[in-house]
Chains A and B, each alone.
Chain A
Amino acid sequence: MATETLIWLIPLPPLLAFFLIILFTNKNKALSHWVGVGAAALSWLGSMIVFIRALKVEHLGQHPFHSAINWLPTADTWLKIGVLIDPVGAATLFFVAWTIFMIFIYSVGYQNYGQPEGDHDIKGLPPHGATVIDPNGHKHKVPSIEPMYSRFFAFLGLFACGMYTLVVSDNLLTMFIGWEIMGLCSYLLIGFWYGKESARNAAIKAFMTTRIGDVFMLLGIAFLYTATGTLSFRTIFSEEVLRALATTPAFFGFSAAGAIGLLLFIGTVGKSAQWPLHVWLPDAMEGPTPVSAMIHAATMVSAGVYAVIRMFPLITADFSGQGLTPTMSIIAFIGAFTALFAATIAVAQNDIKRVLAYSTISQLGYMIAALGIGAYVAGAFHLVTHAFFKALLFLGSGSVIHGMEHGVLHTGDHNTDPQDMFNMGGLRRKMPITFWTFLIGGFALSGFPILTAGFWSKDEILADAFGHGHLVVFIVLALAALLTAFYTMRQISLTFLGEPRTKAAEHAQETTWTMTVPLIILAVFAISYGWVGIPENFPIIGGLIPNWFHEFVGSTLAEIPEGVGFNIVPLVTSLCVALGGLFLGWLVYHNVKTDASDPLKKPLGPIHTLLKKKYYFDEIYDFLFVKPAYWIAETLVSKWMDNGVIDGILHGIAWVGSHLGTLLRNYIDAPVVNGFGDLVGEGTKKIGASMRPIQSGRIQYYMLTSLVVLIVVGGLLYYLLVLA
């Protein structure tokens, strides 16, 4: 099959799976997950074939796989849509396909396939467990299958379709469509257990917050279309168009390119949960864990960064290499700030998934900051490695929660929150596979030197920031890296090291193979993917493996960006913060006792509370936006404008109409119109009654009358006509 055709087909299987499941197979859980996983496997296969073929093409950057068709007629031209796989697209497709496929497989285990139906599970709530009786007559409480199992796979399928559409698009419009499909799916999946109020609220919050970004993104797209008349990447990124956009002034000192870039970037701020629109992502943990992995690692948040990477030539169109443009400064600032800001919050969170959520925000900030300072390849590299290890960490945390839930069901102690890390401890012995894979993921996230993928990508960003003289960004990112290592080790220590702190943790159990196999595969990538991007000038091991990633992804741009020269400062910094953070985390948290509070609580005091409350951003937004919005909706619009003004006017009109009607009725209709009608009727009747006796039936009277009338009329006529 031609590669272009194959690319067209990649997003289709998950979409078909979605329709198949919701329309036909939803009653059959096994069939539904076979359809879902099968579709994911097909897309994965297609993606791999495309990826391998893309590797074989020389100068893929100049000659990408591209095919487009006419779609919407616009006056005398066509709006084209099509598919495009250039090096960045291929690299993205690679990690997207792998993570999505793994998440599908993992979901089978996570939603308890093969377990009995729950005793009293209700749709819309997480399964509560089922009671089984073993041959010896003992009763056991075991996890029960998710009541809306098929629905879950249907939504995952639609989600995957959205992501694939976004990756293979050759234009902003279809990319935006994929983007919005994911927005819808994140809403559906975060609110998957819609019976929980917190899940409902989180779903609405996620939808609304990302919507703010999306509106700006749509504005950017509209602006771009007005300015250039096309939305196709390859046309926009041609030299003439970029130069024209870079030299056209827009507003506030931005060039058109900068303004469009900024508007599109605001879309990314929403989707990739950057400050100040980061608030939805931690709450999105209400969804089932595979969803968290799907949204926070493999697809949606990556889509935001991917959009910036895609639009990189546009954003940097007026970038001369000396001093950042306003748009790039804003991007770098938001990225760096978010990286540090989210990392500090993650230090004080106790929910295992929430730590990862803030860590994701922080790491995305890293990528955004890298792109903001023009480190294109480094940003893309971190996007890929992060997708692997963050998917791994989320799935690992899901595995931990699952193991803990097993313990909770076993002990029957339902007061133990299976997601609170302070209820865990010592799980390394109970869940060895989860432990080792989580350790790999955690070390990759921390940037453990040499071995892990995270080290290479993070190091490259730091080296870029240092090498190009963006010292502030460098210091902020280094601090964030230190905190990252610290909270990662805190998480690992609290979860897996030490002794079990609760009965539930003592009875935790390793999860099934459908969950552990994806973990192992992702762990392999979390280590090995870093090796494809080792800088050639790195001491000792540099150059042993060619820096494939830089060459490959860099070739997407018109001119391959030069790698920064080797400098010992960022490397030492990187080593120090990673190892130092890990050591500190181990030191503080390796031996936390049962019912102990966070050891950092005392020394940090109010700062710890501030971090635990996430800088009160939810409260501030609640006060600044949500409350006023409610006030506007309830008091201003509903009570005053709708009920008062609009209803008042309407009621007034109705009152006038009603009274005018009564008036007309009483003074015109009843006396005049009716009176006249009645008069005609009654008069005719009366005349008839009074004339009746004349018709006696006696013929001679009639004749006599006729004679008299004849004489009278004749006489009259004679008098009038002849005599007068």
Chain B
Amino acid sequence: MVPLSWYLTLSAALFNIGLFGVLARRNAVAILLGIELMLNAVNINLVAFWRYGDPTVITGQVFAIIVFAVAAAEVAVGLALIISVYRNRSTVIANDIDMLKW
């Protein structure tokens, strides 16, 4: 069986890739994608710990499912915002959307 540390390493890598995408990409949609990656990295973690811990307790799976649901809702709201911004300002570049300042 593949050891737990592999899963954790994959998860960490995926989280960092996502984090990098969030911080470094200019496109708001890509930032959203990065967030999705980070969420799924978390999911891998959850499922891996469930599998390697006590499989009779299904808490890890339930958490993963809740994260899916939250991610779906978040994508829906986030994309809606981006569409709305795009309609008003014709841009999806995160740095250009900087009206919320002093």
Interface residues of A (CB under 8 A from B): 692, 695-700, 703-704, 707
Contacting pair A695 B102 (CB below 8 A):
yes
Given A695-B102, A699-B97, A707-B23, 14 new contacts (CB under 8 A): A695-B101, A696-B98, A696-B101, A697-B97, A697-B98, A697-B99, A698-B98, A700-B22, A700-B24, A700-B94, A700-B95, A703-B23, A704-B23, A707-B19
- A-B pairs with beta carbons under 8 Å apart, 26 shown: A692-B102, A695-B101, A695-B102, A696-B98, A696-B101, A697-B97, A697-B98, A697-B99, A697-B100, A697-B101, A698-B94, A698-B95, A698-B98, A699-B94, A699-B97, A700-B22, A700-B23, A700-B24, A700-B31, A700-B94, A700-B95, A703-B22, A703-B23, A704-B23, A707-B19, A707-B23
In the complex, the chain A residue whose C-beta lies closest to that of B28 is: A699
CB distance from A699 to the nearest CB of B (A): 6
A696–B98 CA distance with the chains assembled, in angstroms: 7
Closest 4 pairs (CB-CB, A-B) = A697-B101, A697-B98, A697-B100, A698-B98
Interface residues of B in 58-102 (CB under 8 A from A): 94-95, 97-102
A703–B28 CA distance with the chains assembled, in angstroms: 14
Residues of A within 8 A of B22 (CB): 700, 703
A310–B73 CA distance with the chains assembled, in angstroms: 115
Residues of A within 8 A of B94 (CB): 698-700
A516–B19 CA distance with the chains assembled, in angstroms: 131
A697–B85 CA distance with the chains assembled, in angstroms: 15
Residues of B within 8 A of A696 (CB): 98, 101
A251–B101 CA distance with the chains assembled, in angstroms: 100
CB distance from A560 to the nearest CB of B (A): 116
The tally of residues in B whose CB lies under 8 Å from a CB in A reads: 13
Residues of A within 8 A of B31 (CB): 700
CB distance from B100 to the nearest CB of A (A): 5
In the complex, the chain A residue whose C-beta lies closest to that of B100 is: A697
A707–B97 CA distance with the chains assembled, in angstroms: 21
A700–B19 CA distance with the chains assembled, in angstroms: 11
Residues of A within 8 A of B102 (CB): 692, 695
Interface residues of B in 31-70 (CB under 8 A from A): 31
Residues of B within 8 A of A695 (CB): 101-102
A703–B20 CA distance with the chains assembled, in angstroms: 11
In the complex, the chain A residue whose C-beta lies closest to that of B95 is: A698
Interface residues of B (CB under 8 A from A): 19, 22-24, 31, 94-95, 97-102
> Which of B23, B24, B98, B102 gathers most chain A CB within 10 Å?
B102
Residues of B within 8 A of A697 (CB): 97-101
A703–B101 CA distance with the chains assembled, in angstroms: 15
Residues of A within 8 A of B100 (CB): 697
In the complex, the chain B residue whose C-beta lies closest to that of A692 is: B102
Residues of A within 8 A of B95 (CB): 698, 700
A704–B19 CA distance with the chains assembled, in angstroms: 10
In the complex, the chain A residue whose C-beta lies closest to that of B22 is: A703
A350–B48 CA distance with the chains assembled, in angstroms: 141
Residues of A within 8 A of B99 (CB): 697
CB distance from A697 to the nearest CB of B (A): 3
A698–B101 CA distance with the chains assembled, in angstroms: 8
A700–B27 CA distance with the chains assembled, in angstroms: 11
A46–B78 CA distance with the chains assembled, in angstroms: 112
A692–B19 CA distance with the chains assembled, in angstroms: 27
CB distance from A709 to the nearest CB of B (A): 14
A533–B22 CA distance with the chains assembled, in angstroms: 137
A707–B15 CA distance with the chains assembled, in angstroms: 13
CB distance from B45 to the nearest CB of A (A): 18
CB distance from B25 to the nearest CB of A (A): 9
A703–B19 CA distance with the chains assembled, in angstroms: 10
CB distance from B101 to the nearest CB of A (A): 3
Residues of B within 8 A of A692 (CB): 102
In the complex, the chain B residue whose C-beta lies closest to that of A693 is: B102
In the complex, the chain B residue whose C-beta lies closest to that of A704 is: B23
A698–B97 CA distance with the chains assembled, in angstroms: 7
In the complex, the chain B residue whose C-beta lies closest to that of A688 is: B102
CB distance from B19 to the nearest CB of A (A): 8
In the complex, the chain B residue whose C-beta lies closest to that of A689 is: B102
CB distance from B12 to the nearest CB of A (A): 15
A695–B100 CA distance with the chains assembled, in angstroms: 9
A466–B19 CA distance with the chains assembled, in angstroms: 142
CB distance from B102 to the nearest CB of A (A): 5
CB distance from B66 to the nearest CB of A (A): 23
In the complex, the chain B residue whose C-beta lies closest to that of A691 is: B102
CB distance from B88 to the nearest CB of A (A): 15
A367–B98 CA distance with the chains assembled, in angstroms: 117
In the complex, the chain A residue whose C-beta lies closest to that of B24 is: A700
Residues of A within 8 A of B97 (CB): 697, 699
A695–B98 CA distance with the chains assembled, in angstroms: 10
Residues of B within 8 A of A704 (CB): 23
A699–B96 CA distance with the chains assembled, in angstroms: 10
A696–B102 CA distance with the chains assembled, in angstroms: 8
A704–B34 CA distance with the chains assembled, in angstroms: 14
CB distance from A267 to the nearest CB of B (A): 92
In the complex, the chain A residue whose C-beta lies closest to that of B99 is: A697
A699–B23 CA distance with the chains assembled, in angstroms: 9
CB distance from B82 to the nearest CB of A (A): 12
CB distance from B5 to the nearest CB of A (A): 21
A699–B102 CA distance with the chains assembled, in angstroms: 14
Residues of B within 8 A of A700 (CB): 22-24, 31, 94-95
A692–B101 CA distance with the chains assembled, in angstroms: 9
Residues of A within 8 A of B23 (CB): 700, 703-704, 707
CB distance from A623 to the nearest CB of B (A): 92
CB distance from A184 to the nearest CB of B (A): 83
Residues of A within 8 A of B98 (CB): 696-698
CB distance from B32 to the nearest CB of A (A): 12
A391–B23 CA distance with the chains assembled, in angstroms: 124
Residues of A within 8 A of B101 (CB): 695-697
A368–B26 CA distance with the chains assembled, in angstroms: 127
A703–B94 CA distance with the chains assembled, in angstroms: 12
A698–B95 CA distance with the chains assembled, in angstroms: 5
A624–B24 CA distance with the chains assembled, in angstroms: 113
A695–B102 CA distance with the chains assembled, in angstroms: 7
In the complex, the chain A residue whose C-beta lies closest to that of B25 is: A700
A703–B102 CA distance with the chains assembled, in angstroms: 18
CB distance from A707 to the nearest CB of B (A): 7
Residues of B within 8 A of A703 (CB): 22-23
> Which of A700, A703, A704 gathers most chain B CB within 10 Å?
A700
A700–B24 CA distance with the chains assembled, in angstroms: 8
CB distance from A262 to the nearest CB of B (A): 98
CB distance from A685 to the nearest CB of B (A): 13
